[in-house]
């Protein structure tokens, strides 16, 4: 095929030199320019298959059902760790009293009992010690469990899926394993671990370095004061480390979001196919609408013989009206049309001996304001009544 210096042959466009092309035009087309002809490969304009489109809600829903969700384990771990150190600071006094009471009972009460070395005595010591242990570590376990659930729910929501537990053979493929080890994601995880160790270590070191003078003074304290000082200092270091990890966790959440969106990207062809699956093929939908219009038009034309009168423009509009007090309290529009449809309505009206009355303003107003099967509005009662009275008088005379 040849058109104004352009020849299309086997998906190659050849542009002859008899058409003036600037160097910028040739460069914009993006292929080589020969001495006499410029060839452009049409394959360059085809869908490259690259995943450049954002994931649709349906794609995200499917990924969620398969267990592929947006979640940062670093953020969850940071929140849990920070809240545990805060809880340790808040419940430290209670835990200290429980530990002290447990040791006092072991070295005083239990040794005074004669039944200590019997089966019942051992069981009693075991039960009471277990209860004391639960009281000591219970608050921390409760905080860790609660914050883990809250953090996970805030990121993922409620989700129960067993598809991630399924056996996938590619997971035991050594080649895929090496690819995962030496992938960009593994490099990011390594850098993230190094950053975490460096930041958390620096935060702890800087705090302890600032307290170096106070640490030397603990040699003049008693045992209880030393234990209290070590506990407070440790929780303060832990809280600061937890805050540093929280910052890293927020950064990791941003990275995980970017990685998640990137993994769910779709090609343009995938978006088109999904649209066809969800919305239906546009051509089929168009055919269905066309059939519906045809059925509606056929039904409308079949109702014209039942009309009392057809009000016309006379050439552009035609409206068929019927009044039956047993059916409705106002006249009803059975059919209406413009141009060709109006002509068809008048032809059927003549064949069915339905009166045709010319009233330009009324016909246009009825066409624009009343839908098929709708009642005449009150402001048009008088005008329509006059037309109907005229038609009824004609019928009586006949």
Q: What is the DSSP string of 69-129?
A: ----HHHHHHHHHHHHHHHHHHHHHHHHHHHHHHHHIIIIIHHH-TTTTSHHHHHHHHHHH
Helix (H, G, I), strand (E, B) or coil at 33: strand
Task: Specify whether the CB–CB gap between 7 and 227 falls below 8 A.
Answer: no
Task: Specify whether the CB–CB gap between 93 and 139 falls below 8 A.
Answer: no
List the one residue out of 73, 77, 74, 62 whose CA is nearest residue 263: 62
Note the pLDDT of residue 176.
65
Domains of the chain (ranges; CATH) run 2-45 (no CATH), 73-265 (no CATH), 303-397 (3.40.1690.10)
- By CB atoms closer than 10 A (0-12, 13-18, 19+), residue 349 is buried
| Complete DSSP assignment for 118-148 | SHHHHHHHHHHHHHHHHHHHHHHHHHHHHHH
Helix (H, G, I), strand (E, B) or coil at 318: strand
Copy the structure tokens of residue 158: 């409620």
Task: Specify whether the CB–CB gap between 52 and 72 falls below 8 A.
Answer: no
Helix (H, G, I), strand (E, B) or coil at 313: coil
Note the pLDDT of residue 169.
60
List the one residue out of 266, 244, 338, 316 whose CA is nearest residue 63: 266
Note the pLDDT of residue 198.
92
> 73-107 as b/e, with b when 16 or more CB fall inside 10 Å?
ebbbbbbbbbbbbbbbbebbeebeebeeebeeeee
Note the pLDDT of residue 35.
43
Interatomic CA distance for residues 51 and 264, integer angstroms: 9
For the chain, 398 residues long, the average pLDDT of each consecutive 10-residue run is 42 44 47 45 54 80 80 90 90 85 79 74 83 88 91 81 62 66 77 88 88 78 82 88 91 89 84 72 72 77 82 83 80 83 84 82 84 83 83 77
Interatomic CA distance for residues 251 and 219, integer angstroms: 42
Note the pLDDT of residue 163.
62
């Amino acid at each position: 095929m040849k058109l104004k210096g352009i020849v299309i042959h086997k998906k190659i466009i050849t542009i002859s030199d008899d058409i003036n092309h600037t160097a910028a035009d040739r460069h914009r087309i993006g292929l080589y320019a020969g001495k006499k002809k410029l060839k452009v490969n049409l394959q360059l304009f085809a869908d490259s298959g690259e995943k450049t489109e954002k994931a649709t809600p349906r794609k995200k829903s499917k990924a969620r059902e398969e267990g592929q969700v947006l979640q940062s384990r670093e953020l969850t771990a940071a929140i849990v760790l920070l809240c545990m150190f805060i809880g340790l600071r808040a419940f430290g006094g209670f835990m200290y009293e429980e530990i002290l009471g447990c040791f006092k009972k072991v070295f005083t009460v239990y040794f005074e009992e004669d039944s200590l070395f019997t089966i019942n005595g051992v069981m009693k010591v075991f039960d009471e010690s277990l209860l004391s242990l639960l009281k000591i570590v219970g608050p921390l376990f409760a905080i860790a469990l609660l914050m883990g659930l809250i953090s996970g729910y805030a990121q993922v929501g409620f989700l129960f899926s067993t598809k991630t537990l399924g056996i996938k053979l590619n997971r035991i493929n050594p080649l895929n394993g090496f690819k995962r080890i030496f992938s960009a994601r593994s490099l990011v995880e390594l850098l993230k671990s190094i950053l975490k160790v460096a930041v958390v270590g620096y935060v702890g070191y800087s705090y302890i370095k600032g307290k170096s003078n106070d640490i030397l003074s603990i040699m003049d304290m008693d045992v209880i004061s030393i234990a209290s000082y070590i506990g407070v200092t440790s929780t303060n270091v832990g809280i600061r480390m937890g805050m540093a990890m929280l910052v890293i966790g927020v950064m990791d959440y941003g990275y995980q979001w970017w990685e998640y969106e990137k993994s769910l990207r779709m090609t343009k062809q995938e978006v088109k196919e999904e649209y066809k699956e969800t919305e239906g093929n546009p051509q089929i939908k168009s055919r269905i609408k066309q059939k519906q219009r045809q059925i509606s038009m056929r039904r409308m034309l079949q109702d014209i013989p039942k009309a009392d009168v057809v009000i016309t423009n006379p050439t552009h509009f035609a409206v068929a009206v019927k009044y039956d007090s047993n059916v409705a309290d106002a006249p009803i529009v059975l059919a209406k049309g413009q141009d060709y449809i109006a002509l068809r309505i008048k032809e059927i009206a003549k064949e069915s001996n339905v009166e045709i009355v010319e009233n330009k303003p009324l016909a246009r107003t009825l066409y624009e304001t009343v839908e098929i099967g709708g009642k005449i509005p009150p402001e048009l009662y008088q005008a329509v009544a006059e037309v109907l009275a005229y038609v009824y008088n004609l019928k009586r005379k006949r």
